[in-house]
A and B are shown apart, each in its own frame.
Chain A
Amino acid sequence: DAGVTQSPTHLIKTRGQHVTLRCSPISGHKSVSWYQQVLGQGPQFIFQYYEKEERGRGNFPDRFSARQFPNYSSELNVNALLLGDSALYLCASTPRPSGLSYEQYFGPGTRLTVT
């Protein structure tokens, strides 16, 4: 298993544009989480999806949205890009969300630069 995969590796967008980032979880993992990591900071939680439903959301504006597909892959969409959206976007998968603190397996990230 290649682990969690993300695409694209990096991309450059202009302010006001829209972007879609993609994530494929580890085979058998049904939960996907998205994080934003700004340079010099730790990852910040954006969303968690499980069985195609949003199960948790961090403190991000409505410009950020996501969805999960029947094969458990996921997309993160960001509308009306701002310069401050420039960051590394990380995807993490777990077998399922649970209070039993399943380990989150992280992907390599997508580096988004907004100019």
Chain B
Amino acid sequence: AQRVTQPEKLLSVFKGAPVELKCNYSYSGSPELFWYVQYSRQRLQLLLRHISRESIKGFTADLNKGETSFHLKKPFAQEEDSAMYYCALSSGSGGGADGLTFGKGTHLIIQP
């Protein structure tokens, strides 16, 4: 069975400090990994996906298959980064019909 673990329920950092939100997964095949974000009073939205290897709003995430991790990083946190962050996994097979498996989420608070 596939599983996504986000060990930190809450992460508080000061503005300008580096941020790292941890995500570990378990899956026997080749998964597709995503980070979704939910800002206050907004709906859940995609932040980035590993296959795109892109940087969105200064965030990056590298898939480490050896450590089965997909940590989200940003070198300098901004106050508008405060939000709930979810790591998610798709098996990538079967047409994605097994949906996304989400972690429990990390609440990121950026202090001024």
Chain B residues with Cβ below 8 Å from A101 are 32, 34, 49, 51, 90, 92, 96
Complex A-B, nearest 4 residue pairs according to Cβ-Cβ distance, in ascending order = A45-B99, A42-B102, A56-B97, A55-B97
A65 and B9 alpha carbons, distance in the complex (Å)? 32
Which applies to chain A's interface (DSSP): helix, strand, loop or mixed?
Answer: loop
Most buried by B among A45, A102, A103: A45
Contact, CB under 8 Å: A48 / B97: yes
In chain A, positions 43-98 with a C-beta closer than 8 Å to chain B are 43-46, 48, 50, 55-56, 58, 90, 94, 97-98
Contact, CB under 8 Å: B95 / A42: no
Chain B residues with Cβ below 8 Å from A105 are 45
B contacts with A, residue count (CB < 8 A): 26
A58 and B95 alpha carbons, distance in the complex (Å)? 15
Contact, CB under 8 Å: B103 / A42: yes
The smallest C-beta distance from A6 to any residue of chain B, in angstroms, reads 10
The reply to whether the CB of B67 lies closer than 8 angstroms to some CB of chain A is: no
Task: Give me the interface of B with A, judged by CB distance under 8 Å.
Answer: 4, 32, 34, 43-46, 49, 51, 86, 88, 90, 92-105
A contacts with B, residue count (CB < 8 A): 30
Find the A residue at minimum CB distance from B4. A42
Name the contact of A40 in the complex, choosing from B86, B90, B101, B104 (C-beta under 8 A).
Answer: B104
The reply to whether the CB of A104 lies closer than 8 angstroms to some CB of chain B is: yes
Find the B residue at minimum CB distance from A40. B104
Known contacts A90-B44, A103-B46, A108-B43; A98/B100 CB under 8 A: no
